[in-house]
Amino acid sequence: MILYDANAPGPNPATVRLFVHERGGLRFDVVTIDLVGLENRKRRYLTEVNARGEVPALRLDDGSVLTEITAICGYFDEIAEGGRKLFGTTPQERAVIHMWTRRAYLEVVLPFVNHWRGSEAAENAYRGHRILQPEAQRSNRLLAERGLNQFDDDLEGRTFIAGDDISMADILLYTFMATQIEGEGTPWLDVPQRPHVGAWYARMGERESSRMMLASLPARVRT
């Protein structure tokens, strides 16, 4: 297998990296794509890897390519040797984790990503490769704030989002929050008025895998 990673700590590549470091039991090769230089928007990548220009992407041994971070992480979870599954082991666990992962994405991640996509920094980063909506920036912040307020209530008395153990829901939400807070300077994602979100965010940040996720993966991964 070949994972197409990025040379930048963007949220999508970092999500897969964090999953890989947490999950273990994986073996694959890595090709690093120059995200800063928009290599993912060049014809070769679009025709040979992912027509939508997204990074990461995972080329399987039969030549087919998986895209979308939850699909890639879900595949890794199924094929990893040993370790604890991060999407759950029973039908009920899998359903609960999928539910919380979906909620994290729709209620928090998507609104604050769209908020950033309304900024001048996003316009400079995409350089015409994405249609942006700066007029919706305030509304997207309010949607993200509402989602985070709900998650603050949900996290009361919990160690992690879906229960006592880390899962894909934590990996997705933490990676997007951390890369946005540290990289783009979005302090309103973690404020004292949300103590349960703040405590969860601090717990996630203390994990060794969270520190490792910002660096590109080596050419060969054997976890």
Q: Note the pLDDT tens digit of each residue in 5-15.
A: 999 889 999 99
- The CATH number linked to 139 is 1.20.1050.10
Number of domains the chain contains: 2
Contact by Cβ (8 Å): 179, 14: yes
CA 31 to the chain's CA centroid? 19
Residue 70 Cα distances to 12, 140, 222, angstroms: 10, 23, 21
Residue 73: CATH number of its domain:
3.40.30.10
On whether both 123 and 199 belong to a single domain, the answer is yes
Report DSSP letters for 141-192, one per residue: HHHHHHHHHHHHHHTTT-SBTTBSS--HHHHHHHHHHHHIIIII--GGGS-T
One domain, residues 97 and 201: yes
Q: Quote the domain boundaries for residue 114.
A: 91-208
Radius of gyration of the chain (CA): 17
One domain for residues 123 and 77:
no
- Amino acid 184: pLDDT: 76
Q: Are residues 199 and 188 in the same domain?
A: yes
Q: Of 42-51, 78-87, 94-103, 177-186, give the lowest mean pLDDT range.
A: 177-186
pLDDT confidence band for 124 (50 / 70 / 90): confident
Question: For the whole model, what pTM was predicted?
Answer: 0.94
**pLDDT tens-digit series, residues 70-115:** 999 999 999 999 999 999 999 999 999 999 999 999 999 999 999 9
Query: What pLDDT score was predicted for residue 116?
Result: 87
pLDDT tier at 151 (50, 70, 90 boundaries)?
Answer: very high
Same domain, residue pair 113 and 191: yes
Which has the closest alpha carbon to 1: 22, 23, 25, 30?
Answer: 30
Q: Look at residue 119 in the predicted model and tell me its pLDDT.
A: 84
